[in-house]
Structure 1
Amino acid sequence: MTFETVARVRWRGVALGAVVLAVAAGVAWWATRNTSDPAAAAGHAHGAGAAGGTSGPVMLDSAQAARIGVSYAQAERGVIEQEIRSVGQVTYDETLVRTVSLKFDGWVERLFVDFTGRAVRAGEPLLVTYAPMLASAEEELVLAHQLLRDVQGADSATRRGAERMLIGARERLRNWDVPAEEIARAEESGESRRTLEIRAPYDGVVIEKLVNEGQRVMAGDPLLRIADLRRVWVEAEVFEQDVALVRLGQRVTVELDAFAGRPRSGPIVFLQPTVDPETRTLRVRVELDNADGQLRPGMYATIRVRATGSGAVVHVPRSAVLSTGRRDIVFVRMDDGMLQPRPVVLGIASDDRVEIRSGLAVGETVVSSATFLVDAESNLGAALGAMAGMPGMEAPTPSKSVPPPPPAHDH
């Protein structure tokens, strides 16, 4: 190798080392630069803000919009129909629940309805009871009736006395809820019975059985509870902020898990007068017709209450609003086709529309679908624009050519 060749290799090594040192110095300056400089700090903050989600305007032509599924809608003025949904449960109509009990002491000699859940018809025998005091009262009725027949030829005072005895015996049995037909039978036949048959007051289902055959019962003891299920209630809870949207008599839709696709409707018949302090909810009771007997207490149901807002408001599709957690924005299409992000203040909402209280005017066009994709494009453009001003992100400029090394001299 000649001296000239060796010199050239050494020169190239020195130049490469200088370049490496220059790059290392630049990196060290960037890492340890003084951020107290207002201009530098402002530029850094701007870049960070863009990367953190600051949206900027977006330009999409029709082909690009169609490719990512962007569609548009106009801000309209009108009334928003709100809907409240709540999970409830079918239960008995308490006004159609009766308790079977006796107004005298006695024993249950026969029990015909001997299990809970049994359906009964009005007038069907439920049980047979024996009561000594009832048997004595019926015997007095028979004797009073016989006495009245025996004194028909006597004076008026005697007849009136016999009539009063008969009336008193009848009244005593009526007060014990002895059926009128049983009283008439005893008078006509002249025979008293030691037992009395207790019959169902109306059609229904036995929801509680509290007595067994042979059991001694006291006056007023509940024996059976029967519920008429031709009408039922659905009870649900409404949140405190929605209380103003429900009212007595308002018809609601009820959907049942057991009968999907077959909703029913009924009026609100009760609003609890107090709000639950723990759940902050108000109990709502809906009345449903159940003539077909398909609704059974304990079934889950969903009530849907529709309420119309108090007046016309500016509103857009809910899909047009992008919520970032700190603010709500919509992308407004400007006259030149630019999509401009704009913060808005929201109001009431329905399933598909939301009120815009400020930030948007009637007739303005907003992005109504693929809003997330537009926002991602907006954030990307803002981030790239901010990074363009960072040190080290500028486009490289051509530098002056390095002069060749001086020729080597032979020694």
Structure 2
Amino acid sequence: MKVNWHLSYVKSLSLACACLVSGSVLGAEKFAVSEEQMRALGIKLIPVQDTAMGEVRSRYPGQVVVPPRSEQVISSPLEGLVTQLLVGEFQAVKRGEAMVRLSSPAMSQLQLQLLQASARATLARQAHAREQSLFEEGIIPQRRAQESQATLKEAEATLSQAKSELTLAGLTKEVMEQVIRTGVPSDSITLTAAQDGIVSAISVRPGQRVDAATAILNVTQVDTLWLDVQIPVNASLGVKVGARVDVADKQVSGRVLSLSPTITANNQFVVLRAEIDGAAGLLRPGELVTVEIPVESSGKAWSLPLAAVARNKDDSVVFVRTPDGFVAKPVKVQASAGQLVRVEGDIKAQDEVAVSGVIALKGAWLEEDGE
């Protein structure tokens, strides 16, 4: 009995398809389908509803990168020996916190020059005060007072230069004053963080000798990060600077900063760059993520189930219900996400679109169209 019923169902379904294909032609894109044939083929309809912009978003892979302004490279100011690392990799540091100590004979030499310059400046200052007093009393000519003043300015310039060299070497003003006060130079250099952040890389080990300007470690701010996303050229035409982007599966969003104006012959992609604020603890530099990007529409956009769109060569169509059957209307797919797709086309609100049995409708449409 079940076999007979199955054969009967198959015969009725085949008859329905034959009747659908042989229906009267209503136009190049129209074909007739009755209610009975729709039930036999399992065709279901849904009404088209207007969608808010950005409801359907395209997804692309992206990478978290650090803006250049957020990364500080701590380098050795002088040739020396790394004696102690005070921080570890990926450790959070505060501005002014000590991170590494170096031992450098060049540092003690610079401090010796500071002591000599300071002593000359003190002597020149005293000599100028004495010569000025004698000049005011009329004991010495004005020329001697002017010569003492020139000597003082020269000594002060030399002292200022010595302090500037020590500042570039990482010595603070407080330590300089202590060296001048005690008269004892030191070969120790302590490098500190110039900003809050995390230690993203350490390039040396204790006991290692380094040259001047050798990179020792990197400090990175992670409050503001960038996303670099590669998207197809065609998709980039609908993306505007300032548009909101979201990181999938994370409570993180940002704004589009720029789109690369050029592409290469080997890589037909546009690099989209977005800025993410307040991502500390949620995103890490170098992390690979999925980015959702809205595509702006140039006309009326509609959200439909993915199953409602049929492909015909390089075109896409949807089947809209008419009083006598269906009409195939071409649409332009803007974006897709999951089981939803956003399209533009000659569709009106409350039009009924087929969302199942689309393959059968496509076959009937192509048969009617002579293909």
Q: What is the TM-score of this pair, normalised by structure 1? A: 0.65
* Whole-angstrom distance in 1 between the partners of 2:192 and 2:166: 16
The code of the aligned residue for 1:277 comes to A
Matched, 1:121 2:107: no
Matched, 1:220 2:213: yes
The code of the aligned residue for 1:219 comes to A
Task: Let me know the Cα RMSD of the aligned residues.
Answer: 3.7
Count residues with an aligned counterpart.
Answer: 317
Match of residue 361 from structure 2: 375
Matched, 1:250 2:243: yes
Q: Secondary structure at the match of 2:194?
A: coil
Matched, 1:193 2:186: yes
User: Shift of the alpha carbon at 1:184?
Assistant: 2.8
Correspondence 1:350-369 to 2 at 5 A? 350=335, 351-356=340-345, 362=348, 365-369=351-355
* Whole-angstrom distance in 2 between the partners of 1:316 and 1:81: 8
Matched, 1:288 2:258: no
* Whole-angstrom distance in 2 between the partners of 1:180 and 1:308: 56
**Contact 2:48–2:348 (8 Å) recurs in 1:** yes
Match of residue 35 from structure 2: 60
Shift in CA distance, 353/269, structure 1 to aligned 2, threshold 3 Å? closer
Match 2:204 to one of 201, 211, 220: 211
Shift in CA distance, 70/265, structure 1 to aligned 2, threshold 3 Å? same
Shift in CA distance, 195/303, structure 1 to aligned 2, threshold 3 Å? same
Match of residue 225 from structure 2: 232
Q: Secondary structure at the match of 1:268?
A: strand
User: Shift of the alpha carbon at 1:274?
Assistant: 2.2
Shift in CA distance, 298/66, structure 1 to aligned 2, threshold 3 Å? farther
Unaligned runs of 5+ in 1: 1-49, 384-411
> 1:281-337 CA deviation, whole Å, 9 max, x = no partner?
111122112464231123332222213322347x684554433558755544443xx
Match of residue 269 from structure 1: 257
Match of residue 349 from structure 1: 334
The code of the aligned residue for 2:104 comes to A
Q: Secondary structure at the match of 2:242?
A: coil
Match of residue 111 from structure 1: 85
Matched, 1:339 2:325: yes
**Contact 2:99–2:193 (8 Å) recurs in 1:** yes
* Whole-angstrom distance in 2 between the partners of 1:292 and 1:253: 15
Matched, 1:310 2:298: yes
Q: What is the TM-score of this pair, normalised by structure 2? A: 0.71
Match of residue 322 from structure 1: 310
> 1:56-102 CA deviation, whole Å, 9 max, x = no partner?
4221169x759947234269899897633211122323321121112
Structure label with greater radius of gyration = 1
Correspondence 1:9-88 to 2 at 5 A? 54=21, 56=23, 57-60=32-35, 65=39, 68=42, 70-73=44-47, 83-88=57-62
Q: Secondary structure at the match of 2:90?
A: coil
Unaligned runs of 5+ in 2: 1-16, 24-31, 129-147
* Whole-angstrom distance in 1 between the partners of 2:223 and 2:92: 12
* Whole-angstrom distance in 2 between the partners of 1:198 and 1:77: 57
> 1:211-267 CA deviation, whole Å, 9 max, x = no partner?
121222111111112222222222211101112122333321222xxxx3x432111
User: Shift of the alpha carbon at 1:272?
Assistant: 2.5
**Contact 2:56–2:342 (8 Å) recurs in 1:** no
Shift in CA distance, 149/227, structure 1 to aligned 2, threshold 3 Å? same
Shift in CA distance, 163/239, structure 1 to aligned 2, threshold 3 Å? same
* Whole-angstrom distance in 1 between the partners of 2:333 and 2:315: 16
* Whole-angstrom distance in 2 between the partners of 1:363 and 1:178: 72
* Whole-angstrom distance in 2 between the partners of 1:372 and 1:99: 60
